[in-house]
Structure 1
Amino acid sequence: ALALLLLLGAVLLRDQRAAIPARMGVALIAAIACNLIAEGYGLQRFPQPVAIALILGEGAISGFFWLFVRSWFDDEAHFGWFSWS
Structure 2
Amino acid sequence: LAGGNIDFYTLPIEGYETVDGQDVNMVDPARLRSEVSRIFAGGDSASAPAMDTAVSTGNEVVDIRNGTATDGLGAALAAAMKASGV
TM range (shorter): under 0.3
Higher RCO (Cα < 8 Å, 6 or more apart):
1
Bigger Cα Rg: 2
**More strand by proportion, 1 or 2?**
2
Structure 1 length as normaliser, TM-score?
0.28
Give the structure with the higher percent helix. Answer: 1
TM-score by length of 2: 0.28
